[in-house]
Structure 1
Amino acid sequence: MNSKTISYGILRAVGAIVGVLGLLWFLFQIRSVLIYIAFAAVISLMGRPLVSFLKRKLKFNNTLAVVFTLFITILVFFGISMLFVPIITEQGQLIGEIDINKIGDDLDQLNQEISDYFNVEKLSFIELFKQTDLMQFFDLKAIPNLINSFLSGFGAVLIGLFSVLFISFFLLKDSQLLENSLLVFAKKEDENKFMRAFTKIKDLLSRYFVGLLLQVCILFILYTILLLIFGVNNAIAVALIAAILNLIPYIGPLFGGVLVLFLATTSNLGYDFPTVILPKLTYILIGYLIIQLIDNFLNQPLIFGTSVKSHPLEIFLAILIFGLLFGIGGLIVAVPFYTAIKVIAKEFLSEYKIVKTLTKDL
């Protein structure tokens, strides 16, 4: 091997590295656009069954079915956002009425009752809370600046919403648009395999996201009933937050439960702990655990088993690995990415025994 060949090889390697780094830099610069496309893809996958239903059963033409689907999507997100308006308005009115001493006294009373009931030492962080001048951490004069900052970013939010809806419209209108766009990266001889894999991924993820939406709706209804029964403030909004948190595997339900119990406690500050607060928290916790059992043994097996056709152990390991690699974001995207990897492996690596074993149900 002469020096010219070695130099040429080195130049090719350097060029490839520079090209990859340049591509990564470019993708980082347009990350907001990629996020818009990702949200639009999820909306299109969730909306595909409704578009198909409108075209097949109600004889809508393609464009009208897509427009109606996007209209329903906008109504759903608008309705969800409106749930939080009363909370924001109420909290805004109460900001100027906060009595730090009263809050400290209520928490001190609760702390004393808990320590007496369980015969434990008084919690030190409550004393620290009382002794701390919280107003030094919360400057009420900064609220107008925060509002101005929020309003200044409102235009960017509108641009993002318009972009997502615009992209979603064309993805729903032309179901082959995304496939054809990505097909340019496939070799000529692999185009058929690529199309089969992409079609399978789209069908599986469409069922998966629709299943997640159904899961959130079921949990939202059950949480709302539970919180309304025990008189938790802003029960509907709290139930919605807890249901959405449940989309984060394993960690989400824990955070949701802590949130529910915390808000149930703050809703009853000033009441007697042994006779009012503790029984109510116990009943709410039992109800929350029952709902989680319903979700774990009925909802999730139906979603994971039927929609993405994966064994629960596969799902657990995929979520664990993605969570370790990418944090909370990895927990959320683990199932869709693992499903896509399985389908692609089946099409391009089917000669391997492990691939045949993992993808035999696809």
Structure 2
Amino acid sequence: MRFKPSTNSIIGLIGFVIFGFAMWRFSELVSYLLISVALSFVGRPIVLLLQRISIRSKRFPSSAGAAIALAMMLGLTIGLTQLFAPLFAEQALAVQGMHEMGVERMANETFSWIDQNLTWLNLSGDERNNSTYLLEQIQGFVQLDGIGSFFGALLQGLGDGFIALFSILFMTFFFLKDGALFRNMIQALTPDHLVPKINSIMDRTSALLTRYFGGLVVQVAIITTIVSLGLSIIGAPNAFLIGFMAGIFNLIPYIGPMAGTALGLILIATSSYTGAADTSGILLGSLGVFAVAQLVDNFFTQPIVFANRVHAHPLEIFIVISIAGNLAGAAGMVLAIPAYTLFRIIGQELFSGFKVIDQLTKNLNG
């Protein structure tokens, strides 16, 4: 005999929907909180290790341990930045060289073609030729609107970045200091009779997402290794940088691999202006390397990570990722599967008996 949802269950489901809307409405703050929780999982083992140290029969202070763990994570981030910065600078010089050697020639050829074949348009409405008029319009945009918009966007980006960084560091410190803080926060907002279910939700979510994110690390490592080795063999420049970027872009479902491939080919093409020989051959070989990496990812890594590890049908995953992409862009696509996993676990624990929820969660226990 099937369970018939009670009034309390229906009210609870409505409350859950309202809660989900609030999470979406304040998604920026929620994202800071979730990033801080994730970072605390990374740094918490360091704090626990430091707390084993005794100073005059006293345990190492948790505040000091949290500060050290946070400093170590910041140091690692800065170190990686310093490692990759020279490579990005080299690519910037390559792009500059491409501009000096190729873009100007292409622009001249384009304007010459316009003057020869589109004289009948008379864009300026006077005696000026079309290329002169177009060049004046472009220069006016770049010098006025373009520069103003660029610096406005730059200042806004710096301000938003500082607020995000401060918020994440501030919350991460306290999550590192007290490993049970997040769980206590959730329990404080939970009615007493639901605390056991909430604890079960957090435990199951932690276990399932740990497997999922572990799979993502493996996925990035596999793509980085294949692309880096392949590009090195064919003689492409900056093979590791391009391979690592391809691995990171690959985290974005469906469109990420295409974006990573396009960016990689662009970087390789720009490097040809710094002395690389047989550019077309290198580009074709690079395209083959990216294709091999995607075949391995699609037939080996993806089924393990995105289906088996979260116990969801591939069609479910596609629909969820598509909806998340429409709502929140690339960031939503990256976070879609973890969020969907959490919602399925919550639905199974709190709202079992609803036909649609039972159908979505029937394979969750795997």
TM range (shorter): 0.5 to 0.7
Checking the alignment, whether the CA contact within 8 Å between 1:46 and 1:210 is kept in structure 2 is no
CA distance in 2, matches of 1:232, 1:108: 30
Tell me the matched-pair count.
Answer: 318
CA distance in 1, matches of 2:134, 2:166: 45
TM-score (normalizing by structure 2): 0.67
Partner SS for 1:175: coil
Report the more deviating stretch, 193-202 or 176-185. 176-185
Deviation at 1:244, TM superposition (A): 1.5
Report the more deviating stretch, 336-345 or 160-169. 160-169
Q: Tell me the residue number matched to 2:364.
A: 359
Q: Tell me the residue number matched to 1:113.
A: none
Spell out the pairing of 1:2-41 with structure 2 (5 A cutoff).
32-41=28-37
Structure 2, unaligned runs of 5 or more: 1-17, 110-129
Q: Tell me the residue number matched to 1:308.
A: 310
Deviation at 1:40, TM superposition (A): 0.8
Deviation at 1:253, TM superposition (A): 0.2
- Deviations, residues 123-144 of structure 1 (Å, cap 9, x unaligned): xxxxx99x9757666559x889
- Aligned equivalent of 1:323, options 322, 325, 342: 325
Aligned residue identity for 1:181: M
Partner SS for 1:249: coil
Deviation at 1:70, TM superposition (A): 3.6
- Aligned equivalent of 2:222, options 201, 218, 225: 218
Partner SS for 1:358: coil
Deviation at 1:343, TM superposition (A): 0.7
Q: Tell me the residue number matched to 2:8.
A: none
Deviation at 1:251, TM superposition (A): 0.5
Deviation at 1:197, TM superposition (A): 0.8
Distance verdict in 2 for CA 1:304–1:184, change over 3 Å:
same
Distance verdict in 2 for CA 1:356–1:329, change over 3 Å:
closer
- Aligned equivalent of 2:233, options 210, 229, 233: 229
Q: Tell me the residue number matched to 2:187.
A: 183
Spell out the pairing of 1:60-99 with structure 2 (5 A cutoff).
63=62, 69-87=69-87, 89-90=89-90
Q: Tell me the residue number matched to 2:209.
A: 205
- The two structures, once aligned, show a CA RMSD in angstroms of 4.6
CA distance in 1, matches of 2:284, 2:91: 27
Deviation at 1:166, TM superposition (A): 3.0
Spell out the pairing of 1:338-353 with structure 2 (5 A cutoff).
338-352=340-354, 353=358
Aligned residue identity for 1:39: I
Checking the alignment, whether the CA contact within 8 Å between 2:52 and 2:60 is kept in structure 1 is no
Checking the alignment, whether the CA contact within 8 Å between 1:193 and 1:347 is kept in structure 2 is yes
- Deviations, residues 52-78 of structure 1 (Å, cap 9, x unaligned): 995899999794775565444324322
CA distance in 1, matches of 2:310, 2:53: 29
Deviation at 1:315, TM superposition (A): 2.5
Deviation at 1:196, TM superposition (A): 1.1
TM-score (normalizing by structure 1): 0.67
| 2:249 is the alignment partner of 1:240 | no
Q: Tell me the residue number matched to 2:300.
A: 298
CA distance in 1, matches of 2:271, 2:302: 31
Distance verdict in 2 for CA 1:264–1:188, change over 3 Å:
same
Deviation at 1:246, TM superposition (A): 0.8
Identical-pair percentage: 30
CA distance in 2, matches of 1:216, 1:321: 24
Deviation at 1:278, TM superposition (A): 3.3
Partner SS for 1:357: coil
